[in-house]
Amino acid sequence: MKEKVVLAYSGGLDTTALIPWLKETFNYDVVCCCINCGQGNELDGLEERARLSGAAKLYIEDIVDEFCDEFIMPCVQAGAVYEHKYLLGTSMARPAIARRLVEIARKENAVAICHGATGKGNDQIRFELGITALAPDIKIIAPWRMTDVWTMQSRDDEIAFCKAHGINLPFDASHSYSRDRNLWHISHEGLELEDPSQAPNYDDMLVLSVTPQKAPDKVTDVTMTFEAGIPKTLNGKAMKVSEIITELNRLGGENGIGIIDIVENRVVGMKSRGVYETPGGTILMEAHDQLEELILDRDTLETKKKLGSQFAQIVYEGKWFTPLREAIQAFVESTQKYVTGEVKFKLYKGNIIKAGTTSPYSLYNESLASFTTGDMYDHHDASGFITLFGLPLRVRAMKLREVKSKEN
């Protein structure tokens, strides 16, 4: 009986070519595994394509809710944003995919897992750190780094390879954006984006969204409720997280929300440029932030922001299955106990405009915040506070003055 390899299979040209290549190079039976994180119609026709390409078996695993509940929401609650802009759409999905690949490999008694990530990108790190953390005994095959046996260097080479193996598939050699899609976002790389001096061709690029200029000249009102940091309703309707993100994607996309153009620092050391569409995710994170403004005290909020930035870097670098990620997430979860309430906002031409936030746990006290004097605040108390708060400044100024006087 042949040994088995589990192939992370998207149905695209790269992973289609990998099926006969793995059989030919290693004499493996190839078990294809497509992990559905919300790719939409990209899953159409996969079963026939895998069969025609010589796969022994195909799994199509739906992990959309698992992805939302166990990977997206911890990042939302942490306020995890990489380099101030990137909402981690691809980064969050890779550990979820790696975990399911390992589960299928165990089920099939496979000796190896193969992925099609290139040797220049972040995904090779994310996949392999995830697989190694969960299954250190399983071999990892990364063809794009195996230049002694993987000789294909272009789409033309891969198409020719497939045709030589009797696989005639609907791919051509025309160039297009390199995309990654899941329920949270769509990323775009390549073509004019490889030159930072060039503006993105949004008319040709965007999938989920329209640009703010093309968004309707009208306001879209949105109301959301949260319980313990988790979204529960959208415009009065109870929904699970995946359904809320789906509807927010529609609303946000129509209104030009969440389109970013960023030059980011990859883990491997180079800078890369990408355009990300994250309409629903941008809205969800903004709504969550608005609620936290009312509820978290100053010190907790400040600490959480620092750890949120660190959490983002951990996720970006593929270190999901680590004690540090677990520890920071535990802290974040402790801050979410009272993040409950209602958030209202208006969507308009790329903008999310506050329209009122309420919570039974709000720390905002109108009597304290008002310019009128309330019972809880005596203006005279500020004098002593300022004296003590400024004491280090006073001592330093006196010392400098003393030194200067001696010099003169």
Are the beta carbons of 274 and 97 closer than 8 angstroms? no
Whether 178 sits among the annotated catalytic residues: the reply is yes
Are the beta carbons of 316 and 267 closer than 8 angstroms? yes
Whether 14 sits among the annotated catalytic residues: the reply is yes
Q: What is the pLDDT of residue 374?
A: 61
Same domain, 40 and 182: no
Same domain, 147 and 256: no
Same domain, 225 and 146: no
Same domain, 224 and 349: yes
Tokens of 341: 């309430």
Of 164, 187, 207, at which residue does a domain stop? 164
Same domain, 37 and 11: yes
Q: What is the pLDDT of residue 182?
A: 97
Q: What tens digit of pLDDT does each residue of 314-336 get?
A: 999 999 999 999 999 999 999 99
What values do phi and psi take at 328, rounded to 5? -65, -40
Q: Which of 69, 178, 309, 362 is catalytic?
A: 178
Is the residue at 21 inside a domain?
yes
Tokens of 20: 């006969």
Reduced to 3 states, what is the DSSP secondary structure of residue 301? helix
Provide the domain count of the chain: 2
Is the residue at 303 inside a domain?
no
Q: What is the pLDDT of residue 45?
A: 83
Tokens of 398: 């006196």
Q: What tens digit of pLDDT does each residue of 214-246 get?
A: 999 999 999 999 999 999 999 999 999 999 999
Q: What is the pLDDT of residue 367?
A: 60
Tokens of 320: 């999901």
Same domain, 239 and 139: no
**Distance (Å, whole) CA 62 – CA 141:** 24
Q: What is the DSSP string of 182-243?
A: -SS-EEEESGGGGSTTSPP-HHHH-SS---GGGS-SS-EEEEEEEETTEEEEETTEE--HHH
Q: Which of 10, 14, 100, 126 is catalytic?
A: 14
Nearest to 125 by CA among 17, 14, 269: 269
Is the residue at 89 inside a domain?
yes
Residues in the chain with pLDDT < 70? 171-175, 366-375
Q: Which of 123, 126, 181, 325 is catalytic?
A: 123
Are the beta carbons of 210 and 296 closer than 8 angstroms? no
Same domain, 209 and 156: no
- Annotate 6-40 with b (16+ C-beta within 10 A) or e (fewer): bbbbbbbbbbbbbbbbbbeebebbbbbbbbbbbbe
Same domain, 50 and 15: yes
Same domain, 18 and 99: yes
Residue 203 amino acid letter: D
Is the residue at 285 inside a domain?
yes
Is the residue at 327 inside a domain?
no
Domain range enclosing 266: 178-295+340-358
Of 164, 187, 205, at which residue does a domain stop? 164
Same domain, 28 and 143: yes
Is the residue at 32 inside a domain?
yes
Same domain, 27 and 160: yes
Task: Indicate which CATH number applies to the domain containing 69.
Answer: 3.40.50.620
Is the residue at 319 inside a domain?
no
Nearest to 194 by CA among 275, 96, 314, 121: 275
Tokens of 338: 């009272």
Task: Indicate which CATH number applies to the domain containing 267.
Answer: 3.90.1260.10
Calculate the alpha carbon distances from 137 to 110, 144, 202, 288 in Å: 11, 22, 45, 40
**Distance (Å, whole) CA 167 – CA 156:** 14
Of 164, 186, 218, at which residue does a domain stop? 164
Same domain, 91 and 230: no
Reduced to 3 states, what is the DSSP secondary structure of residue 84? coil
Reduced to 3 states, what is the DSSP secondary structure of residue 112? strand
Tokens of 229: 């940091």
Is the residue at 404 inside a domain?
no
Q: Which of 49, 53, 91, 94 is catalytic?
A: 94
pTM value is 0.93
